[in-house]
Structure 1
Amino acid sequence: LYNSLNMSKFVTNKVYLRGILLHYFIQKKSAAEAHRILVQTYGDNALSDTTCRDWFRRFKNNDFELEDKERSGAPKKFQDKELEQLLDIVRKTKYPWLEAGDRYRLQLMRLSRALKEKRPLYAQRHDKVILLHDNARPHVAKPVKTYLETLKWEVLPHPLYSPDIAPSDFHLFRSMAHGLADRRFHSYEEAQKWIDSWIASKDMSFFQRGIHVLPERWEKVVESDGKYFH
């Protein structure tokens, strides 16, 4: 099975093993327990006890970046696309540490990292992040809920089947639909290129409008007694 899935080159990958450590950290296991499981599973290829403890310290400090820190001017050795490919391959082996919400949790990790990089004062001021997402299964998966608790982000309640109060639905996708009218794509790459270009063409005020109108939308939901409106 390993040969058919080319797992032999992944099982000793440092990022892969760190992902397993993160899984056990979220499950509230100790670094010693995680190290013992790795040794039982991977033998000499397992991370050392000291390394496991170091990574658990990082996780406790809300540092969930699994890749090695880049040196100045050095190229990134492990791209997000490669990490997602790794996750896809491991999913096929039905490893229990990868669940439905892992891909979404990875996106949240990137978002948290981007906030720290692009808004350095955010971490210093301990500003609260308010997150609004719907009740799609990946969003409410246990690993995602646990990770959001470690971030201490406030998650707004979102009633089932309520596109009226999702900015992506009532603002972003509605505007995008106008741009897509009568447009035809002949490949996935062509569609992706158009979407990237369309998003890049919007200035900050476009996205701010979608957020700022949210309180008004919530009031309409209450006034309409939960019924849909346009």
Structure 2
Amino acid sequence: MLVEAYGDHALSEATCKRWFQRFKCNDFDVRNKERGRPPKKFEDVKLQAILDEDDTLSQKQMADMLNVAQQTISDRLKAMGKIQKCGKWVPHELNERQMENRKNTCEILLQRHERKSVLHRIVTGDEKWIYFKNPKRRKSWLIRDNHQHRLRNQIVSGRRQCSVFEWARRHGKVILLRQCTCTQSKRFRIQSKYLAGSCYPPPYSPDLAPSDYHLFSSMGHALAEQRFDSSRKWKIGCLIGLLQKKNISIGMVSTNYQKGGQNV
């Protein structure tokens, strides 16, 4: 009868039986009853105590410690606002002798600068990948677990060339190793001897690595939304980016070098 009267909107037989039983028990409240959540199997303070002791444990390890399911740990971590991030990668740990050598090197550079300025005689260099297609990178407000992979993948897979930048003046040279690059010791010793210069490990700072701190960022803004279909146009675009920072030089940061050296 209900199907004939209401068609597809008719209640099912099981629903009719359930409501009939409720009405038979004098329960005429047609509102849905609130369903309570299952009780917690452990308090968040216990999980937080484990994280305070060792925050590198896996969900399975924490689940075994609290005798609960791994999904329970996952749900509680999300409720507590916890996300998993990789720690900062450190290439190696220095021993006492290596730390002392680096300290001495920085002090020697500072003393040489105090006796006679050496910043105008530094030779250093760096490299940067410049792409033929440079989409403008924009900041976005995203949910914490979302990541912008599309732009990154597009850039990495695109056509590109490497530009090498050298900062030098051609007299009384002081030779510094390049930043972030592997150097063949034999080849470098021959070149250093030929140039009659000195070789010190380079402290990575705005003074001795001006490319990363003063040049590459401005070039990125200058090349934003630029597209090059040939190597010639690519070189012209790079030149325009360089001309916007034509006044940048190592000598202009001598004051910062002297102040920074006091904190070695």
Q: TM-score, normalised by structure 1?
A: 0.32
Structure with larger RCO (C-alpha < 8 A, sep 6+) = 2
Instruction: Flag the structure with higher strand content.
Output: 2
Q: Which has the larger radius of gyration?
A: 2
